[in-house]
A and B are shown apart, each in its own frame.
Chain A
Amino acid sequence: MRIINRKPSRVTALALGLLPFVLTVVTYAVASHYRRLDNPADKLLPSLSSMAEAFWRMATVPDRRSGDLLLWLDSFDSLWRLGTGMAVSTLLALSFGIAIGFIPHVRSALAPYLATFSLIPPITILPILFITFGLGELAKIALIVIGTAPVMIRSTAQAVLDIPREMIIKAETLGASVWQMVTRLVLPQVLPHLITSLRLSLVPAWIFLISAEAIASTSGLGYRIFLVRRYLAMDVILPYVVWITLLAFLLDRALLLLSRRAFRWHHLGGDAL
């Protein structure tokens, strides 16, 4: 049988999915082992156990100076910034996206401006943000918003434009006002796409968050990584990277689950990834 027609069983699929992860860990462990044979004090590829130990320390042992549990403090601060920024971006995407997508005059007024604005590399605005808003939370959240909102607004506006014209006309013949069409037709049709857009925007949002924290912050996952970099503390950095990845993964899955639960109609036609 041709390979394109062979389908893995459930167990095989799971095993195949796990394989690259296992290979990565094994490769790392082997490399780390040989490096430490040469130099037991090697800092570059610490052993899995020493990383676990460092991670455990960050999570359970209060910091000597501040008395905080650093992992949880960093995670809370970072997630708060990320959550606030993405909430603002989502609200902007909904309000501006629907206005631009649904009302031709607003589209003519704002679409070219938005297209231009979204091309500014957000990181180049960071110094401006630090100068204007200071080094506090506002500048970091503003960077996340500026980095993600324009793309989210554009994709929401596109989702509005993609609503079949037939449905909008049908709503008109049922006597709907513009506002009623927004609340009963456009909003529900667009929300699943907004969640997809939110999931995709979380990737750059994390980049902006970590960058802002690395440059000017006193807490947060990005701050911690760049802080311990000075001591070549790979045993902290690597677990933190895994931890950030895990948080990002869980957020993504939670949003997908939300979409499937709340917008069952949208996922009836089969769904990918």
Chain B
Amino acid sequence: MSTAPKLSVQGLAKFYDRIPVLERVNLDVQTGSFCTIVGASGCGKSTFLRMLLSQEHASRGQILLDGKPLPPEPTPDRGIVFQKYSVFSHLTVAENLILAQEFEASRWSGRLFGSARKAAFQSIDDLFDRIGLQPAANKYPAQLSGGMQQRLAIAQALVKKPSILLLDEPFGALDPGIRVDMHELLLGLWKELSMTVFMVTHDIHEAFKLGTRLLVFDKIRHDPQAPHAYGATITYDLPLKSPTGGTLRSPEAIAGAIGASQATKPPPFSQNSKAHDTQASDNHE
């Protein structure tokens, strides 16, 4: 595609107390991509996602959204689903889903009453059907299973029709069976709403199954005397399928791709660096 990228990351670096977590991250993402992000824990992939959300700010470099710098705080154009605490525990399922409408409609009370409230509840009927939570409409999140809570979280994040959806290990706490259902739900919504998706995950199979593009975060430089001297960056950027999601990749292709990703695990430089690698990740945890 020759169009301008939806999101452009340029020379991004992030330091905590002068310790680099991320450095020299460069990335252009087209509209409609589904980027899955993997990497060892502590490699800064969640930090990267939080920076896309404006929850954290770059120490160096910049992130452009539609050619303009990201706003300095979270805004409705970027939806988010966290692993936990994504939904409001004091609201029922239905109340969680109409909350965004209430914010929009009523500036001071942030609340709808009477017929307006009824209309808001009716307007989410389709969404309810989609996520299959209709029977639980009047339950509180604490009364739902983990999978149902995440369904609700995804639906809630989509109410404002964000152009970018950010997912921070959204299915990390779910059973494998439930995960497959969630994958279908997410892929369906992604195709329907033509969003650009960034998803951090621990599960490499999930990353290959869902993404159109796989980003692997890792440290490329190691100093054995100073394990914290260098931050991580994007070490592998693999296109998995066309951004429109048209062609499904063949099993052999997956196998090959996973093989390629596993090749990232052995240290790229010296023979000793395996030990450094372990040391570095130990220190990060």
User: Which A positions have Cβ atoms within 8 angstroms of B?
Assistant: 164-167, 169-177, 179-180, 183-185, 188-189, 263-266, 268-269
Contact = CB atoms under 8 A, between A and B. Distances in A.
Given A166-B86, A188-B90, A263-B90, A176 B142 contact: no
Nearest to B79: A173
26 contacts: A164-B84, A167-B88, A167-B89, A169-B53, A169-B80, A170-B80, A170-B156, A170-B157, A172-B75, A173-B76, A174-B100, A174-B103, A174-B156, A175-B103, A175-B104, A176-B110, A180-B107, A180-B110, A183-B110, A183-B111, A184-B111, A185-B88, A189-B89, A264-B140, A265-B90, A268-B140
A184 B160 contact: no
A165 B88 CA distance: 12
B110 to A, nearest CB: 4
A189 B237 CA distance: 42
B159 interface: yes
Nearest to A181: B110
Interface string B55-74: 10000000000000000011
Given A166-B82, A183-B110, A172 B73 contact: yes
Contacts of A263: 90
Nearest to B81: A170
B137 to A, nearest CB: 15
Given A174-B160, A184-B111, A264-B140, A167 B85 contact: yes
B162 interface: yes
Contacts, number: 85
Contacts of B104: 175
A184 B104 CA distance: 13
A189 B89 CA distance: 8
DSSP majority for the A interface?
Answer: helix
Given A167-B89, A173-B157, A175-B103, 8 more contacts: A165-B55, A167-B88, A169-B55, A171-B88, A173-B78, A174-B156, A183-B109, A265-B142
A157 to B, nearest CB: 19
Nearest to A268: B142
Contacts of B90: 188-189, 263, 265-266
A269 B89 CA distance: 11
B102 interface: yes
DSSP majority for the B interface?
Answer: loop
A265 B140 contact: yes
B108 interface: yes
A183 B102 CA distance: 12
Contact of B76 (A174, A183, A184, A269): A174
Given A169-B55, A266-B90, A268-B140, A174 B99 contact: yes
B74 A172 contact: yes
B53 A175 contact: no
A175 B77 CA distance: 9
Interface string B149-162: 00000001101101
Nearest to B142: A268
B143 interface: yes
B75 A173 contact: yes
Contacts of B143: 268
Nearest to A174: B100
Interface string B169-203: 00000000000000000000000000000000000
Nearest to A183: B110
B227 to A, nearest CB: 28
A175 B100 CA distance: 7
B214 to A, nearest CB: 25
B103 A169 contact: no
A169 B140 contact: no
Contacts of B75: 172-173, 175
A15 B235 CA distance: 68
A11 to B, nearest CB: 31
A183 B90 CA distance: 12
Nearest to A180: B110
B73 to A, nearest CB: 7
Given A172-B73, A172-B74, A188-B90, A166 B84 contact: yes
Q: 4 closest A-B pairs (Cβ-Cβ)? A: A180-B110, A164-B85, A166-B85, A172-B74
Contacts of A180: 103, 107, 110
B89 A265 contact: yes
A185 B142 CA distance: 16
Interface string B252-283: 00000000000000000000000000000000
A165 B108 CA distance: 23
B102 A184 contact: yes
Contacts of B79: 173
A165 B73 CA distance: 13
Given A180-B110, A265-B142, A268-B140, A173 B85 contact: no
Nearest to B55: A169
Contacts of B111: 183-184
Contacts of B80: 169-170, 173
A184 B99 contact: yes
B157 A184 contact: no
Contacts of A177: 103, 107, 110
